[in-house]
Amino acid sequence: MLIEMSTGRSGTPEDQAAPARRPHDDTPDTMALFHRLAALEDGPERDAVRDELVTVWLPMAHRIASRFRDRGESIEDLRQVAALGLVKAIDRFDPDRGAFESYAVPTVTGEVKRHFRDRMWALRVPRRVQELRNKVRVARRELTQNPGSPEPSVADIAGHSGLTEEEVAAGMEALESFSTLSLDAELSSAAEGDGYSLADTLGAADSSYDVVVDRESAKEGLRRLPERERAILYMRFFEDMTQSRIADRLGISQMHVSRLISRSCARVRAEVLAERVARRGDGSRPASA
């Protein structure tokens, strides 16, 4: 009764407590500023109001950024990305459509996630596969949250997540694609006597394939050469004879041998190139040898 008389209000002290606190201390009431921002034209005054909104809401952006710490990116960079998302949210927010926090949180969170998707993957992975990766990671965490839970199989994850086993396999491969291994990284310790790096396991281009292609391309042209010219090319390029030895064997001058080799090679090369141009023109594919 004394409380009622002294305050002019009825109820218990608990009823008269301060209004319930907002979910976070970094979500100020700035609707008046947003309405003012929406009414202003571009200019110094509008810029000042915009800067004030960024300042008062920046702690919320930093809080969202902190959720993504320890994922391979510095907290300073994450805060910059979150601040960029906050600026976008302020510029796009319509104060007549609800609370700013409800609009800003997904906007800032999406900006940070997009940063990880577009900038942090060492190996570029399609967005669909990245989404599969996230679903697989969540399913594995949920299946192993109880102590002593065995490592779930692909079938277990598929049944829990609603994905197919092929999709789970793609997501699990993507789990290992966020970072890459240096080519100089050792795959086996030198102390074991057989140390080697990842670069040692990589193949190299085999020039023999080009030789095979060129040889097959020239085969028909060589067959159309006169017999003596074919013999000269065989002795020069397959028996590795010098032009002088070829000249002695055939009873002609070394200069004549040189001219015959040049003429024969030029003829075969011209026929091969002409045949390739003709095939491109009619769209036909080369016949296999």
With cut-offs at 50, 70 and 90, classify the pLDDT of residue 194.
low
- Write the CB contacts of 184 (distance below 8 Å, at least 6 apart in sequence): 197, 198, 199
Considering only residues 198 and 84, tell me which one the structure prediction assigns the higher pLDDT. Answer: 84
DSSP state, residue 117: I
Domains of the chain: 31-120 (1.10.1740.10), 127-144+152-175 (no CATH), 209-282 (1.10.10.10)
Considering only residues 246 and 218, tell me which one the structure prediction assigns the higher pLDDT. Answer: 246
Calculate the average pLDDT of the chain: 80
- Write the CB contacts of 177 (distance below 8 Å, at least 6 apart in sequence): 121, 122, 123, 125, 133
Beta carbons of 81 and 111 less than 8 angstroms apart: yes
CA distance 33 to 25: 18
- Write the CB contacts of 109 (distance below 8 Å, at least 6 apart in sequence): 64, 67, 85
With cut-offs at 50, 70 and 90, classify the pLDDT of residue 177.
low
Supply the pLDDT for residue 90: 93
Torsional class of 179: left (φ above 0), alpha (ψ -120 to 50), beta (otherwise): beta
In the predicted model, is pLDDT for residue 162 greater than 60?
yes
Report the candidate in 21, 94, 88, 23 with the shortest Cα–Cα distance to residue 61.
88
With cut-offs at 50, 70 and 90, classify the pLDDT of residue 245.
very high
* Structure confidence by residue, pLDDT tens digits, 127-150: 788 788 888 888 888 888 877 778
Beta bridge partners, 188, equal: 196
CA distance 225 to 159: 69
